[in-house]
Amino acid sequence: MGSWGVKALESDNGLDLIFLLKTDYLPKHKKLTLGGLIGFLKEEGFLGETVNEIDFLYDNTAIAIAELYSEWQKTGKLNYDDEDSNVWSAITNFSASATARKDLLRRLRSIKNQVPDEDGEREIVELWKESNNWESWDKHLDSLIELLQQE
């Protein structure tokens, strides 16, 4: 699974997402919108067009987007800069329309409810259930869903 924590951003796929945003999206966007991120990540193949497209990468991306949004809501910043770039600290706003929040919430609920793919499983859930961190991951997913529901 390539993960060192329960967060989607604490994984190889999460690092790929951070790099993609850093190089291709953030240099052009100082004010983020949840809908803009979702649209960009669909175009880049990191997110399915609909909630019915189930894939490990799409699930990880949906959770990672929610983590970024949650981090912004809690701290007012996103701290992923390195010595080569300061695009993350240049972000001045991260907003979310009701439509974008509902889209992301539907994706997270689909994961939470373990809606299966065409092969009858939900790979991300199955992998976490087999780990020692299932309960922590599940609680983390609950906290992201709760944040999006409150807004």
Which residues lie below 8 Å from residue 102, measured CB to CB, with a gap of 6+? none
Q: What is the mean pLDDT of residues 11-38?
A: 95
**Nearest to residue 62, comparing CAs of 49, 47, 74?**
47
For the chain, report the end-to-end CA distance as a whole number of angstroms.
Answer: 32
According to DSSP, the β-strands at 93-95 and 31-33 are parallel
How much is the pLDDT for 1?
52
What pLDDT band is residue 63 in, cutting at 50, 70 and 90? very high
3-state secondary structure of 69: helix
How much is the pLDDT for 83?
78
Q: What is the mean pLDDT of residues 22-43?
A: 96
What pLDDT band is residue 16 in, cutting at 50, 70 and 90? very high
**Nearest to residue 137, comparing CAs of 2, 26, 22, 10?**
10
What's the rounded Cα separation, in Å, for the pair 107 and 123?
14
Say which amino acid occupies 78: L
What pLDDT band is residue 124 in, cutting at 50, 70 and 90? very high
What pLDDT band is residue 7 in, cutting at 50, 70 and 90? very high
What's the rounded Cα separation, in Å, for the pair 37 and 131?
30
What's the rounded Cα separation, in Å, for the pair 141 and 71?
14
Q: Which two tokens stand for residue 101?
A: 């929040």
